[in-house]
Chains A and B, each alone.
Chain A
Amino acid sequence: MELTDLSMLELAAKLAAGEVSSVEATRACLARVAQVDGKVKAFLRLDEKGALAAAEASDARRKAGSPASPLDGVPIGLKDIFLTEGLETTCGSRILQGFIPPYDSTVVSLLKQAGLPIVGKLNMDEFAMGSSNEGSAYGPTHNPWALDRTPGGSSGGSAAAVAAREVFGALGTDTGGSIRQPAAFTNLVGIKPTYGRISRYGVIAYASSLDQVGPMARTVADTAALLQLIARHDPLDSTSAPVEAPDYREDLEGGVRGLKLGVPREYFIEGMDPEVEATVREAVKAYERLGATLVDVSLPHTKYALATYYLLAPAEASSNLARYDGVRYGLRAKDAKGLREMYGLSRDRGFGSEVKRRIMLGTYALSAGYYDAYYVRAQKVRTLIRQDFTKAFEQVDAILSPISPVPAFKLGEKANDPLSMYLMDVFTLPCNLAGLPGLSLPCGFTKSNLPIGLQILGKPFDEARLLRIARAFERENDFSRRLAPL
């Protein structure tokens, strides 16, 4: 068994027992990267020096008897959306090529303080807009489970790196499913916490009212441990919730006896891959065997979530991305004549087509004459979607559903059909719109060994329960222990 096959907490135990050092673990990750990343292409850049220095410091702390956290010394990767001081951060875009941030995002500071070496920055769909990682300006990432397929997006690099055991865990972001869908495509656990649970300071903004940071790892316990390190209020983020985080691992083994789990009829739709549908339904039934009660619920406005999302997210994005204008940082078209041309050329050359498409859409939705019909109306429908969940959660403690209508699709399959790409998010979008927590859990495989994920949605700030529900299923099978054949 390779060192890199260990889970985060398994490694942490060995570090604590002195059986292995963080430097060894970090070197093992770097070796693994050298071995497989040529095929996976999860990494945009490595920080070998920084990671090893952090690993050394971690080993020293352990020697002195004062580890900084339960995951001190466990190497991880970060989606290139998190600003890392002194380490290039591109957000998967050409417009930020060469950008060296002068500050760390809050979550990066927290992880550094907790002692986790950061191996490098991970590939992503440009500006987090995408569901396949094909939208990266630096080339797509390949799914370690099938290299001709996508690992999902936009946190595709994070998912692939963890699944390929290049790092032990990673952080991603999720605006419409960008943690949960890649987790499902790569057999990982991923969680998008409640909106406001994790600081967004220093996380490049896509859609401010939807973006959330979350952990991705191979086990539920790992995910809980990583979540614990970053779940706190941040005075630098005005949308950060003033709610204390509980101990996420305290009652992890508590099981689901007596819980009511909702099964929303609108989430089992026509056109789903039959293997995905069957596997998810099996997982749902398993919960009944584990002692939960299944309740049929309805979330009637589900079918409007896609349209709502694809008006609101681009609208906010069109404003958030206005700062990429070539004035203070980022790509500037040096051949431009005059300011106006500089703006236009810098942005046209610096942004990829999906980003431009969404900026156009968002600008249109906010523009004079269309604001009420598009933006305001979408915000109202958003309220209806939220109310659907509020009503459902009066009857149930959590909701189970598929994550994606299909397993990992082939690279290039949807590249020229934006709308069909957008449909990948139908099950994951609603929870972002409602600001609720959502977790992705391995629940089986297709005949061709492609992972399938189960989604668990919860009430605001109920992450601990979601993790407990996930663990109850995880310990009954070996899905999480299966490794990508790479």
Chain B
Amino acid sequence: MPLSDFQPVIGLEVHSQLLTKSKIFCGCSTEFGAEPNRNTCPVCLGMPGVLPVLNQRVVEFAVRTGLALGCTIKKTSIWSRKNYFYPDLPKGYQITQYDQPICEWGKLTIDMPEGEKIIRIRRIHMEEDAGKNVHDASVGESLVDLNRAGVPLLEIVTEPDLRSADEAVEYLKALRDVLVYLGVNDGNMEEGSFRCDANVSVMRKGETQYGQRVELKNINSFRFIKQAIEYEIGRHVEVLESGGKIDQETRLWDTQRGESRSMRSKEEAHDYRYFPEPDLPPLHVSDALIEQMAQGLPELPRPKFQRFLSQYGLPAYDAKLLCAERPLAEFFEACAQHSKDYKKLSNWFQGELARLLNESGGAVTISTLKFTPGQLAELLTAVEKGTLSNNAAKDVLGEMFRTGKAPDAIIAEKGLAQVSDAGAVEAVVDEVLAKNAGEVEKYRAGKKQIFGFFVGQVMKAMKGKGNPTLVNDLLKSKLGD
């Protein structure tokens, strides 16, 4: 299969729901999961006589996103109507931005094994989401829930710069991370707040013209993106290799069957009859707003990641994990102010802390931890100094997690302090060796494996609180090794 003769060409369109409290053109709540049509009003129900009024936060989020992605923010943009009939589209048209979007020409850099790659972003625009159509097979009807109708969306469109399904996945992950960092999206692909359509085509290597592209819809999980795009690429190659032609069409990804299929419900190509929305005046964005949004931009995932590599000397794996969520990275950095062994700190984050957070099943997040970064740093310092064993530290952390008590209070309460006083340990070692003279003889005669017995005895006598390194060192020296 000469797949290698072909070059895939992929462009992505992401629809990102915005974390505003209210919908884009009315005051209904955007909260997910309510009973059908609980969050609706005459405006988003498309009743006769209603009119849209724009939510200013949507504009702020659009500007913020555009700036983060290096776009030009258009001072004037206009709204358009996209006209088509569907039960989840109450007005029979969607208010969107067609020929004058709010942001244009930005980019997002992704890291691939071969190196970094810049993906150009052609445009970003604002629009309203449609409702949900649920097919109820039992009654042969569809049920329409308009809670989602009017939820604000940003549509982010790339140029066809992606060359493989892997690149597409990387881009989407990177984009999602940026949007979550900015606080404009919750990154939840399964709940539908971050959706992706792919435009896929292939061209023979060496050709200058792009092949016929196909729009692939209904990919609703990161897992399926790779699968869906690779399938589609394969389908194109197969068709072309057998002398066929790729039709311009929209295809739906069928997760069950693991294939894409043509959208047969479209009897004719959609003629959306776009025209400027007469109910909304042109949107003017002021320099002041752009400046305000620029000032408020947080450090973005990729620059943060690179800074973690250089500033903390962490391996890429660690840095990537720590930068996955802004609150996590920020918590780490706060700890790192006090605790200078960054790799150890990172290990604790990936190990014990991650475990505790996972076990809570999402009830506790990094932002709702009961203890402070300073307290975690304190704990690790104790381990570093030797006043607390690693295992004891795990116990203390667990207690801190549950109760929010300070580490030193917990250590004192539980009597977990490790004995690192050389004199004290030595005394016990001497006593143990004195009591077990026979074993000492055997050890000195060559039975090295009973070293552990001595360690056990010392620990028993010290109720486990002996500093293990110290115990080992003292035993070794006294046993004459």
Contact = CB atoms under 8 A, between A and B. Distances in A.
Q: Do chains A and B touch in the complex (CB under 8 A)?
A: yes
Interface of A: 83, 89, 91, 96, 99, 101-103, 105, 200-205, 208-209, 235-239, 315-316, 318-319, 321-325, 327-329, 339, 343, 363, 366-368, 371, 375
Contacts of B42: 102-103
Nearest to B271: A368
Given A208-B278, A319-B83, A371-B275, A235 B53 contact: yes
Given A208-B278, A315-B275, A322-B91, 7 more contacts: A200-B51, A204-B48, A204-B49, A238-B280, A325-B92, A327-B90, A371-B274
A238 B281 contact: yes
Interface in B77-93: 81, 83, 85, 87, 90-93
Contacts of A202: 49-50
A445 B295 CA distance: 69
A371 B271 CA distance: 11
B152 to A, nearest CB: 16
Interface in B45-100: 45-54, 81, 83, 85, 87, 90-93
Contact of A238 (B49, B53, B87, B91): B53
B128 to A, nearest CB: 14
B92 A371 contact: no
A102 B47 contact: yes
A101 B48 contact: yes
Nearest to A329: B47
Please classify the interface of chain B as helix (H, G, I), strand (E, B), loop, or mixed, using the class held by over half of its residues.
loop
14 contacts: A83-B49, A101-B48, A105-B49, A202-B49, A236-B51, A237-B53, A238-B51, A322-B85, A322-B91, A323-B90, A323-B92, A328-B144, A339-B87, A366-B273
A324 B92 CA distance: 8
Interface of B: 42, 45-54, 81, 83, 85, 87, 90-93, 142, 144, 271, 273-275, 278-281
A201 B50 contact: yes
A325 B279 contact: no
Given A238-B280, A339-B142, A375-B275, A205 B83 contact: no
A339 B141 CA distance: 9
Q: Which of A99, A205, A318, A328 has the most CB of B within 10 A?
A: A328
Contacts of A339: 87, 142
A138 B45 CA distance: 27
Contact of B52 (A238, A316, A327): A238
Given A208-B278, A319-B83, A371 B46 contact: no
A96 B48 CA distance: 10
Nearest to A321: B92
A321 B48 CA distance: 9
A91 to B, nearest CB: 7
A236 B51 CA distance: 7
A319 B81 contact: yes
Given A315-B275, A319-B83, A367-B273, A203 B91 contact: no
Contacts of A329: 47-48
Contacts of A363: 273
B127 to A, nearest CB: 16
Contacts of A89: 48
A329 B42 CA distance: 12
Contacts of B52: 238
Contacts of A316: 278
A203 B279 CA distance: 13
A329 B46 CA distance: 10
A338 B48 CA distance: 24
B53 A323 contact: no
Contacts of B87: 325, 327, 339
B83 A322 contact: yes
Contacts of A366: 83, 273, 275
A82 to B, nearest CB: 8
A329 B92 CA distance: 13
Contacts of B83: 318-319, 322, 366
B343 to A, nearest CB: 56
- Interchain residue pairs A-B with the least CB separation, the first 5: A322-B92, A366-B273, A208-B278, A209-B278, A202-B49
A375 B46 CA distance: 25
B85 A83 contact: no
Contact of A203 (B47, B49, B142, B274): B49
B202 to A, nearest CB: 28
Nearest to A240: B51
A319 B163 CA distance: 40
Contacts of A321: 92
A103 B279 CA distance: 20
A277 B474 CA distance: 122
A101 B273 contact: no
Contacts of B54: 238
A375 B274 CA distance: 11
A322 B278 contact: no
Given A323-B90, A343-B85, A208 B279 contact: yes
B468 to A, nearest CB: 71
A319 B94 CA distance: 10
Contacts of A209: 278
Nearest to B49: A202
Nearest to A342: B87
Contacts of A323: 46-48, 90-92
B278 A328 contact: no
A99 B275 contact: no
